[in-house]
Amino acid sequence: MPEMSDEQLGRELREGLDDRARSVEIGDPVARVALARSRATRRRAVRPTRAIGVAAAVVVAVASGLGFGVWRSGQGADLPAAASMSASATATVSPTETPSIVSSPTPTPTIALPTPSATPLPAQPVSPHIRPTGSSTLVAPVSTLLADGRVLFVDSWNLVPVMGPGAELYDSKLGKFVTTGPLLAGRRQETVTGLKDGRALVVGGEDIDTGNIADTEAYDPRTGAFTVTGAMSTPRLEHTATLLSDGRVLIVGGARTWMGDGLASAEIYDPRTGKFTPTGSMSAPRYDHTATLLQDGRVLVVGGASASTNGDVGTASAEIYDPRTGEFTPTGSMSVARYFHTATLLADGRVLVAGGTPGGMATDQTGGTISSTAEVYDPKSGTFAPTGSMTVSRAEHTATLMRDGRVLVVGGVSGPDGARNATASIEIYDPKTGGFTAAGVMASPRLGHAATLLPDGLVLIVGGVHYGGHDYIEPDGSGGVWSASDPAELYQP
């Protein structure tokens, strides 16, 4: 495994300071939570190959009284002197020099903070098809439409009890969000799936104190309460959960830890028994993939990432799961590797796959290889074919099938600038023409948001963050501005 040079380490530290233009009091409980889980992230571009070095750097920051809420993730570097440093250590960093850590009797650190370089997006008129609705308090929600027409949102970046119950209901008749629950465990990067009996299943994710979660919860909209249901055989996050035609739920892949360690295994949840049972495994591990129920009852699993010494690396492969046999079989591959993409079932039975990134070091992190391309999978032939490209590159966006058969593509992180700015742009894919058309902008840029088709044909857009900065987000909003402070938005076709 290659060693990290002093120059690389200096760049890592300077970029972390660039993103953190103010310090957070260590006495603040929110900051303590953020510091304790500094490497957790919804959008990790590069994973540490030597976590000990990162841990040592965080220890130095605490001992020095720096108060940084979250240390920027990336490859660690060996800091052999860190173990012997006292609380009087002073960290000195300049924008042009390699950082040095020296002993000093002065307890107050000297920090030369570079000027943030994020470029704001140009202002554009909000689309006439967009209008505000109630405000949600959730940051990066996942959602499911309930049988009664309401929408259940569960925060996939929830730090219970620091950030509240972690669940809300949206009533389209009232245009309001109301708190429900609470969740029984603080989770992030979990899934929520509506069941045929009217309940919703919350699966996996990570707890900030105990790590990945195998336990699951069932939400009953009649009581507004979550209850414990079966446990998976393997804890996982960044997996997929797909409702099958027979009412069971297929759980596929994911990661064992926030550092990666992808899974090829899959499990089936039966709501009648409340239990999980293992099923066939994929040919390769993957997380941040998509899993789409086809019209014939099979499930198409596309793309995803696996960890390597070069960061998260995407795959172009795809597999088909057949519930009748309980097995995965390879199918055609995409033209390019992707993760953080979308996969949307079209009215004609094909699947639109759009955007994403192939990953790897210094790609997703800089935004330079975020894709604008799209392709369509035909289950009859088992092959992918190129279709028109999006008007902008996107990852971590949403793509929602509307009643008229077109697909609404919203937000996401867009390149190529290194600030990883979220975009407010909207575009429409028309399967009849195979092309994307720009459709204006939302009132707020968003990535990591949720978009849900409502019974009346409107699309509800909730949460997300304004920009990524680098590959972390903090509970207090530093390093990524919460869109939860902005009203949710409705798109009227």
- The pLDDT tens digits for 68-95 are 222 222 223 333 333 333 333 333 333 3
Both tokens of 306, joined, read 């696996």
Both tokens of 152, joined, read 């259940």
Residue 401 confidence (pLDDT) above 90? yes
Q: Band the pLDDT of 308: cuts 50, 70, 90.
A: low
Q: Which residue has the higher pLDDT, 40 or 485?
A: 485
* pTM, 2 dp: 0.74
Q: Band the pLDDT of 416: cuts 50, 70, 90.
A: low
Q: Band the pLDDT of 163: cuts 50, 70, 90.
A: low
Q: Which residue has the higher pLDDT, 83 or 254?
A: 254
Residue 382 confidence (pLDDT) above 90? yes
State residue 172 phi and psi, 5-degree precision: -70, -25
Q: What is the pLDDT of residues 205-239, one digit of tens each?
A: 987 666 778 999 999 999 999 999 999 999 999 99
Q: Which residue has the higher pLDDT, 465 or 174?
A: 174
Mean pLDDT, residues 175-195: 92
C-alpha–C-alpha distance, residues 425 and 427, integer Å: 7
Q: What pLDDT sits at residue 414?
A: 84
Q: What pLDDT sits at residue 477?
A: 41
Residue 423 confidence (pLDDT) above 60? yes
Q: Which residue has the higher pLDDT, 281 or 94?
A: 281
Cα angle for residues 366, 371, 377 (degrees, 5° grid) = 150
Q: What is the pLDDT of residues 324-362, one digit of tens each?
A: 999 999 999 999 999 999 999 999 999 999 999 998 533
Residue 102 confidence (pLDDT) above 60? no
C-alpha–C-alpha distance, residues 213 and 210, integer Å: 8
Q: What pLDDT sits at residue 47?
A: 37
Q: Which residue has the higher pLDDT, 297 or 464?
A: 297
Q: What pLDDT sits at residue 29?
A: 34
HEC secondary structure over the chain: CCCCCHHHHHHHHHHHHHHCCCCCCCCCHHHHHHHHCCCCCCCCCCCCCCHHHHHHHHHHHHHCCCCCCCCCCCCCCCCCCHHHCCCCCEEEECCCCCCEEECCCCCCCCECCCCCCCCCCCCCCECCCEEEEEECCCCCEEEEECCCCCEEEEECECCCCCCCCCEEEEECCCCEEEECCCCCCCCECCEEEECCCCCEEEECCEECCCEECCEEEEEECCCCEEEEEEECCCCCECCEEEECCCCCEEEECCEEECCEEECCCEEEEECCCCEEEEECCCCCCCECCEEEECCCCCEEEECCEEEECCEEEEECCEEEEECCCCEEEECCCCCCCEECCEEEECCCCCEEEECCECECCCCCCCCCCCCCCEEEEECCCCEEEECCCCCCCCECCEEEECCCCCEEEECCECCCCCCCEEEEEEEEEECCCCEEEEEEEEEEEEECCEEEECCCCCEEEECCECECCCCCCCCCCCCCCEHHHCEEEEECC
Q: What pLDDT sits at residue 125?
A: 84
Q: What pLDDT sits at residue 99?
A: 39
Q: What pLDDT sits at residue 44?
A: 40
Q: What pLDDT sits at residue 474?
A: 43
What's the whole-number average pLDDT of the chain? 75
| CA nearest neighbour of 67 among 108, 104, 99, 98 | 108
Q: Which residue has the higher pLDDT, 154 or 36?
A: 154
Question: 211-241 burial by CB neighbour count: b if 16+ within 10 A, else e?
Answer: ebbebbbbbebeeeebeebbebebbbbbbbb
Q: What pLDDT sits at residue 420?
A: 60
Q: Which residue has the higher pLDDT, 59 or 404?
A: 404
C-alpha–C-alpha distance, residues 479 and 464, integer Å: 13
Mean pLDDT, residues 269-297: 97
Q: What pLDDT sits at residue 6?
A: 47
Residue 455 confidence (pLDDT) above 60? yes
Which of 56-65, 371-380, 441-450, 475-484 is least confident?
56-65
Q: What pLDDT sits at residue 83?
A: 32
Q: What is the pLDDT of residues 460-484, one digit of tens each?
A: 999 888 764 333 344 444 444 444 4
Query: Which residues sit opposite 191 in a β-bridge?
Result: 203
